[in-house]
Amino acid sequence: MIVVSQDEKGLKGAMLELLEQELQPQLDADDVAQLSDEALADRAPANNYSPGYFVRIDYLLQLEGMIAAGARLELFADEITGLRAIKLARAEFAREHPACGNCGEAQYTRFARRCHACSTEFRKAG
Ligand SMILES: [Zn+2]
């Protein structure tokens, strides 16, 4: 049996999934009305982790917020594991979705040539 609170790889993956979901453009009611059921299903966010992972991540984010606010807490080993998983997920997300140098918006892909938010053109690397 997998213990969610000790599954660093799973927590990291679930956190990445949450970050990816936040990046997806939101559909408004008109968009939804025009799309077929199949097209909507294709746009549904990936959900590869059981709800327990997201409950745990919610807890870890609250814990992280308390620490950031200056709370001095003694952490359990699985809390440290979880906080590390969140940090690793954010780092991976930042690599895959670099922020625009102009507006700071995370890009859909690191290969973007133009910011989807402010239309700033990105220089090609190299
Ligand atoms: Zn931008």
Q: How many whole angstroms from 71 Cα to the centroid of ligand 1?
A: 35
Identify the pLDDT of residue 45: 67
Identify the pLDDT of residue 126: 56
Identify the pLDDT of residue 49: 93
Q: How many whole angstroms from 22 Cα to the centroid of ligand 1?
A: 17
Instruction: Report the distance separating Cα 6 and Cα 82, nearest Å.
Output: 7
Q: How many whole angstroms from 79 Cα to the centroid of ligand 1?
A: 35
- Has residue 70 been placed in a domain? yes
| Domain membership of residue 19 as a residue range | 4-96
Cβ-count burial 13-34 (b if 16+ within 10 Å, e if not): bbbbbbbbeebeeeeeeeeeee
Q: Taking ligand 1, which is a single-atom ion, which protein residues have CB atoms under 5 Å away?
A: 100, 102-103, 105, 115, 117-118, 120
Identify the pLDDT of residue 125: 60
The residue to which tokens 């690599």 are assigned: 95
Q: How many whole angstroms from 26 Cα to the centroid of ligand 1?
A: 18
How many separate domains does the chain show? Answer: 1
Q: How many whole angstroms from 122 Cα to the centroid of ligand 1?
A: 9
- Has residue 83 been placed in a domain? yes
Identify the pLDDT of residue 25: 75
Q: What is the pLDDT along the chain (126 residues), one digit of tens a residue?
A: 899 999 999 999 999 999 998 888 777 777 778 888 887 777 766 778 999 999 999 999 999 999 999 999 999 999 999 999 999 999 999 999 999 999 999 999 999 999 999 999 998 665
- Has residue 109 been placed in a domain? no
pTM for this entry: 0.80
- Has residue 40 been placed in a domain? yes
- Has residue 80 been placed in a domain? yes
- Has residue 113 been placed in a domain? no
- Has residue 82 been placed in a domain? yes
